[in-house]
Amino acid sequence: MLSHLSAIYIHHQLPRLSALCAATTAAMGAAAGMAWLIDGRYDTIAMAISSMIGDVSGMICDGASNSCAMKVSTSASAAWKAVLMALDDTAVTGNEGIVAHNVEQSISNLCSLACRSMQQTDKQIIEIMASKAH
């Protein structure tokens, strides 16, 4: 349940059409769920999500395709790695990239990037896909 709620919480802050691969936000939820099942501590969950944001935040959605399965695999592997790191009290810190010193701000930073900066990426992806249809 926690994994679904976490993923929904993150994904709800994104625009309907987003260049950010949804497998990444789903895997962030999976990381939260795994961390909770193994450890049950909020700090472990927060560290796992923050590491996920630091790891896979740049993965783009290029439309429904066979490469989606590869992106799911990459995101799932990253989720497990993030959980293992968090269990070892290690995470991407607020001194690095878009990750902040608290998980809420890290999520907000990720969603801001997807909502604002990646809008042109959306348009470019659609243009590339449309050009293949001819």
Model confidence at 103, in pLDDT bands (50, 70, 90)? very high
Number of H helices, E strands in the chain: 6, 0
The secondary structure of 4-39 as a DSSP string is HHHHHHHHTTS-SS-SB-HHHHHHHHHHHHHHHHHT
Model confidence at 102, in pLDDT bands (50, 70, 90)? very high
Looking at the predicted structure, is the pLDDT value of residue 132 above 90? no
Residues ≥6 apart with Cβ < 8 Å to 120: none
pTM of the model: 0.91
Q: What is the DSSP letter of 95?
A: T
CA distances from 109 to 21, 27, 117, 122, 124 (A): 16, 17, 11, 18, 22
Residue type, 3: S
Looking at the predicted structure, is the pLDDT value of residue 16 above 90? no
According to the model, what pLDDT value does residue 134 have? 64
Q: Compare 125 and 3 and report the one with higher pLDDT.
A: 3
Looking at the predicted structure, is the pLDDT value of residue 13 above 80? yes
Model confidence at 129, in pLDDT bands (50, 70, 90)? confident
